[in-house]
Amino acid sequence: MQRRFVSIWFRQLLADWQLIRRPELAEVPFVFSAPDHGRMLITAVSPIAAHSGVKPGMRAADAKAICPGLEVLDDKPTRPRNLLRGLGEWCVRYAPIVAIDEFGMDGLLLDISGCAHLWGGEREYLKEIVSRLKSKGYTVRLAIADTPGAAWAVSRFGKVTPLIPEGGHTEALLSLVPEALRLDDVVLAKLRKLGFYHIKSFIGMPRSVLRRRFGEEFLLRLAQALGTEDEVLVPLQIPVPFQERLPCLEPIRTRTAIEIVITKMLESLCKRMQNEGKGLRTGVLKGYRLDGKEVQISIGTSGATHSVIHLFKLFQLKIDQIRPGLGIELFVLEAPKVDDVAIPQEHMWSIKPGLDDQSVIRLLDRVAGKVGLEVIRRYLPASRYWPERAVLRTAAVTEKPVSSWRLDKPRPTELLRRPDPIEVMALIPDHPPKFFIYKGVQHQVIKADGPERIEREWWLDTGEHRDYYQVEDDQGKRYWLFRSGHYGGDQKYQWFIHGFFA
């Protein structure tokens, strides 16, 4: 597939932004200025001020002299980048890779490979972007070419069609001025001094001659424009490998239409994942509305899956959370987290399917979709001595334990996250409690077993050991208690409750 790029040039970025915020300035000349070595220099000019002869780089005092009534606004160094970042995030609806033009800080570069056909071709694609940006108040020029450099050059200096056909970028560059190659002022001055006023004047010269006269940076810019050297774009948002995009011919507003869109996108996404042996663990559906706002819903699965029916049921539970407003014009389905899918061995029967049964996994996913994934927890045994560290929480149902549960010693069914202190009356030394008080309630101990000493893991932290007892009160309830530390002397000890037996 031939790679294609779009360059969007915001001809008067700051001025348009200000006019959107303050429409009353439409008939007033204004400029932006910033301090530079003790002087206030013009950084951006409104159309009316430009018509009066005010230009960027001019001193603010001189600009006021030639343009009466000129309003001077303070500029900020980070403002153009912040504006372009916001516009770039909005343009993600048109291409997954959107980057800020770092050379002029007045435009965006889009990698649109494989995207234009979703809008009916490159010509309609350009019309869509131009019309939407103009409707928001921005004056733009666009161009499409095989390289970012050629698209940048044509959008700013081209006098022909902005739609450069595949393989035609070299010819489109020939008649342009050297400034179209994104060169610095020193190199441009050398080119003008030698009489090179168009790219065709030097494009056929030997590289050794060009390198000696104009430097390595000149050759790099020329090669990037011609496509003999790759130009890496730094995207504002890292694209997700498993992603599907679906623009809508008419804005989508109804639940039925959204369900059809989800089904269609899941079919394509799951087919790709199945071919690569992957399954979805986290899915995100984004909708771009006509008013420029973005809505999204997300799902999670307990195990990797590429089942269209199952994933659709999970999304279906959350469709009511989508607020389409005036309508959604573009849907993007992403799988930011995927795992390998193990192909199950077919068998005639299974006595204890347990968590290996796909129906159990699908049930857990549907429950999580209603009450939240954080409500469902699964724990695996960990090879640790300290009780709090002997269990390991896992997010995947299919994850296998690396050790077995300890069966040689009784352990409570419910283990408190943190032991709670209790008041105890016990004979010494090493006798179980006669009774204990927990949350203001006294429990008379009828039976007890212990102690079981558990030493602290000294390679992790320091402190006292624990002596654990299994006790049963007069109500038949069983508890797991421990004493931290020894009796006697200056040593401190304290009793805690740590769990409950079934």
pLDDT confidence of residue 450: 82
Structural element, H or E, at residue 50: helix 47-51
pLDDT confidence of residue 247: 86
> Measured at the alpha carbon of residue 269, what is the angle toward residues 266 and 275, in degrees to the nearest 5?
130
Using N-to-C axis directions, what is the helix angle for 185-193 and 207-214, rounded to 10°? 120
Q: Radius of gyration (Cα) for the chain, nearest Å?
A: 34
How far apart CA 17 and CA 79 sit, in angstroms, is 10
Query: Quick check: 207 and 226 in contact, CB under 8 A?
Result: no
Nearest to 269 by CA among 308, 320, 319: 308
Query: Quick check: 315 and 352 in contact, CB under 8 A?
Result: no
Between the alpha carbon of residue 6 and those of residues 107, 136, 142, 146, the distances in Å are 10, 19, 7, 9
Residues in the chain where the model's pLDDT stays below 50: 348
DSSP-derived secondary structure letter, 492: -
Q: Do domains 1-11+80-239 and 243-340 have the same CATH topology?
A: no
How far apart CA 203 and CA 181 sit, in angstroms, is 11
How far apart CA 17 and CA 84 sit, in angstroms, is 11
Tokens representing 286 are 């984004």
Query: Quick check: 30 and 71 in contact, CB under 8 A?
Result: yes
Q: What is the 3-state secondary structure (H, E, C) of 105-131?
A: CCEEEEECCCCHHHHCCHHHHHHHHHH
Burial of 92-105, coded b for 16+ CB within 10 Å and e otherwise, reads bbbbbbbbbbeeee
Measure CA 30 to chain center: 38
Task: Provide the whole-model pTM.
Answer: 0.67
* Domain boundaries of the chain, sorted by first residue: 1-11+80-239, 243-340, 414-500
How far apart CA 136 and CA 76 sit, in angstroms, is 22
Query: Quick check: 287 and 319 in contact, CB under 8 A?
Result: no
DSSP-derived secondary structure letter, 400: P
End-to-end CA distance of the chain: 64
pLDDT by residue (tens digit) across 177-199?
999 999 999 999 999 999 999 99
How far apart CA 11 and CA 142 sit, in angstroms, is 10
Domain 243-340 fold is Dna Ligase; domain 1 (3.30.1490)
> Measured at the alpha carbon of residue 9, what is the angle toward residues 8 and 11, in degrees to the nearest 5?
150
Q: What residues have CB less than 8 Å from 132, skipping those under 6 apart?
A: none
CATH 3.30.70.270 fits 1-11+80-239, yes or no: yes
Collapsing DSSP to helix, strand or coil, 383 comes out as coil
pLDDT confidence of residue 117: 87
Burial of 427-439, coded b for 16+ CB within 10 Å and e otherwise, reads eeeeebbebbebe
pLDDT confidence of residue 172: 93
